[in-house]
Structure formats: structure tokens, C-alpha cells
Amino acid sequence: MADRIMDIFMLQEIGTVTTIREVIITVFVSFILSMIIAYVYIKTYRGRFYSQNFVQTLVIIGVVISIIIVAIGSNIARAFSLSGALAIVRFRSIIADPKDIAFIFFVLGAGLATGAGLLVPAIIFVILLSALILLLDAVDFGKNRGKNKLLKITIPENLNYEGLFDDVLEKYLKEYTLLRVRTVELGTMFELVYSIVHGEEVNEKDMIDEIRARNGNLRVDVIMDQQYM
């Protein structure tokens, strides 16, 4: 009877004997570490709003990966079969911000270390990297000091856009670069997208008015953040 009870509370098929208690500890630690990573993501997010689903997914990924590692153990055949199964998984949403990918790898690393039983290294890894990320955010490391914006100009399809606004842009801007030209409104219009840098004192309204006088009073957009292009 005692042996039967022990079989219930022991997972004998794993490479090393794993108790239910160890599994619970692994899940709990992985959950806490994933929550810390998700919190750091929220605190350092620079866009207008973040996705709640993505934040919750970070936590779920960390816990799932840790349990996967526990289940695999040292069984090589099982590891290969699992990698084949995971190979069919694809992201169903577009990750627009490269920082989101970094946080996915962050939580994967924490989950792998936790599942492998390296609880102390996993905790140290998450705490140190979280502190470094918060430090980078606090000092605003890598900030572009110029006043970079996006300028989108809509023009009729019969208007030659090459050099059309160069004199106006040179008058008001310190730098400008044509990034993209595409057709819009079912091909009846062209949309020009410029990366622009303002000078010290620029009257943006005057620049837009001059552009509108040249593009037939069609739409002109000035976008503050290239992420929302």
C-alpha cells in the first residue's frame, strides 16, 4: 500500500525521479519570475498602450516552458519528438516591436533554467537582467536626440512627385529622407512617406500649409512616433 501511494506522488518516467512537490515548486518559481518579467515589460513599454494578451502570454510561456523541460528530462528521444511538435507552432500575430521579441526570449530563458532545476541561477538571471533593463529605461539609453517624425503626403496620381516638395522641406527641415511611395485610394492617389528632422525653431503649420497648397489640399500627416506609421 505504501509503495502504491509513493507511485502516485512520484513521476518515475522522467529521466530523474521528480516528485509532485518539485513540480509545484518549479511551476511556482517560474510563475513568479515570469510575473517579474511581465512587470518589467509594462514599466518599460514606450508605446501608447501595450497588449494585455501579450503580457499574460509572457507569464504563460514561462510556466509552460519550465514544465516542458521537466517533462523532457534527459530523454533525448522525447526531446526530439517534442521539438518536432513545437516546430508546427507559428505566431498568429505580427510582433511589430523588436523589444517584444527580446522579452519573449527573456521569459524563455527563465523558463528553461527553472525547468532544468537551476532555480537560484534562474532567480539571479531574472533579477539582474530586469534591473539592467530598468536602468536602461531610466537613463533613456539610445534615445535619438533629434526631433524625428514621419511626414505623410497624399498627392494625385497625375502629379509627378519627384522633387515636388524638396524646396519646401529644405526651407523648414534640418534633414529629410523619402522612405516610401505607394498608391492609395484604389490607385487614384500616391502617398509619400518622409523621415524628417526639425530645425531649432520651425513653424510646422506653415510647412503643412505650403505642402497643402502644392498637393491640392489633400491629406498631410505628421506622425510623432515611427511605431505608429
**What is residue 115's predicted lDDT score, i.e. its pLDDT?**
83
pTM: 0.60
The three cell numbers locating residue 147? 526631433
**What is residue 87's predicted lDDT score, i.e. its pLDDT?**
52
Name all domains of the chain by residue range, CATH numbers in brackets: 2-138 (no CATH), 148-228 (3.30.70.60)
Q: In what order do the strands lie in the sheet with 220-223?
A: 173-184, 189-198, 148-156, 220-223
Alpha helix (H) ranges present in 49-175?
A: 52-72, 76-86, 98-115, 119-138, 166-172
**What is residue 225's predicted lDDT score, i.e. its pLDDT?**
58
**What is residue 31's predicted lDDT score, i.e. its pLDDT?**
92
**What is residue 198's predicted lDDT score, i.e. its pLDDT?**
77
- Chunked in runs of 10, what are the mean pLDDT values of the chain (229 residues)? 48 53 87 91 80 85 84 60 52 63 86 85 91 87 70 89 86 86 86 83 83 89 64
**What is residue 160's predicted lDDT score, i.e. its pLDDT?**
85
